[in-house]
Amino acid sequence: MIKIEGGKLLIDRISKFAKTLNDGKIPFVLASDLRNMIEKRSLSETSLKNKFRAYSTTPYWRTKKLRPVGKGGRPSKTGRSIFYKGGYRDFAAATKGGTTPNLFASGQMFRAMQAQPVNNAEAKIIFIRDAEAKKAIINNQTREFWGAKKEEQKKLRDNFAQMVKNALRESNLQ
């Protein structure tokens, strides 16, 4: 029979380590990190694969009921819509002041994107408003921003490994 001195202390340390890993903080922090990576990448107008695709130059009719109300363009005969010969690109230049795609134009979509714990072992990124979730789906079809690049995945793995090391150190197991 082998007797381990301080066996109770070791069990307490292992329990503390297990609680640290199961308290839900690590998945939430990693989901928050990914959310911030998506935001930072989008600010630099970069999708998962390359730079954001330019706005369309296909002729574009926009109803005046939509917000923001378009500036410039040629009003229709009924006055209910506006025609932009240079497409959405002309609308964006006249209304938003630029022709470069900007997912932060109003800031509403990214403010609505939040990390949310699912349980102690999982977290997810959600949109807290349906309108912003729909906007994100449409934007992601033309400018794929939702997800993580290989280097971002590596950074998340490194962050996870560091959190585990910290938990080991705090539990006096390292």
Arithmetic mean of pLDDT over the chain: 82
Count helices and strands in the chain by DSSP H and E runs: 6, 5
Instruction: List pLDDT tens digits, range 109-128.
Output: 889 999 998 888 888 999 99
- Gyration radius of the chain over CA positions: 24
Bridge-based pairing of strands 81-84 and 60-63 is antiparallel
* Distance, CA of 9 to CA of 160 (rounded, Å): 26
Distance CA 70, CA 34 (A): 34
Nearest to 35 by CA among 126, 108, 157: 126
The string of DSSP letters for 7-26 reads HHHHHHHHHHHHHHHHSSHH
Alpha-carbon span 168 to 98, nearest angstrom: 50
* pLDDT at site 2: 40
- Of the candidates 133, 132, 128, the one whose C-alpha atom is nearest the C-alpha of residue 114 is 128
User: How far is the C-alpha of 65 from the C-alpha of 67, rounded, in Å?
Assistant: 7
* pLDDT tens digits, 52-105: 888 888 998 888 877 777 788 888 888 888 899 988 888 888 887 777 777 777
DSSP H or E run through 114: strand 113-119
